[in-house]
Amino acid sequence: MGFRILASIMLAALLAFPVSAAPVSATVTVKATVVKPLTLATIQSMDFGTIVLKPGTWSGSAVAISQAGVLTCPVANLICTGAVQAAKYNVTGTNKQTVQVSAPNVTLVNQSDGSQTLQLVLDKPAPFVLPNSGNPGVDFSVGGSIMLSSSTADGTYVGTMNVTVDYQ
């Protein structure tokens, strides 16, 4: 009978303390991408040249400079002369990284009459990848358009374009 009591006590002790499970492990890959800071340099400013308003009453004539520097001027209402150019920049950073260009539209203010403004709607490049060469970076251009009417005040209109580049 002593054996039965001893066996019962041992069985009760085993049931009171569960057997610990065998340890398990899993692995994951750890990754960190380190990139150089982007640098942005101005190569040239945007210039629409000289725009002459033709007589009459009209509205909604858009003068545009493409990113390639090509001027579009509606000859029915305007005469566009002089050298024109899109804004041009250079960006450098880490090779094979995608760069996003952003910039808000620009309010151009008439330097003779600060109450007169033109809205410059920007034409920005799509995201692009920095090439293997890295050091020379990538040149890109920003174009844009302005709307004119026969009532647009004459004068020189000037504004500041705030272009930002960031890794995408």
CA angle in degrees (0–180, nearest 5) for 102-64-141:
40
Write the pLDDT tens digit of every residue in 45-97: 999 999 999 999 999 999 999 999 999 999 999 999 999 999 999 999 999 99
Write down the pLDDT at residue 162. Answer: 96
How many whole angstroms separate alpha carbon 88 and alpha carbon 103? 13
* DSSP state string for 86-109: -EEEEEE-STT-EEEEE---EEEE
> Where along the chain do its domains lie?
36-167
Average pLDDT, whole number, for the chain?
91
pLDDT in tens, 131-152: 875 578 899 999 999 999 999 9
Q: Supply the pLDDT for residue 118.
A: 97
State the average pLDDT over residues 115-138. 89
Q: Are 62 and 149 in contact (CB under 8 A)?
A: no
pLDDT score of 21: 81
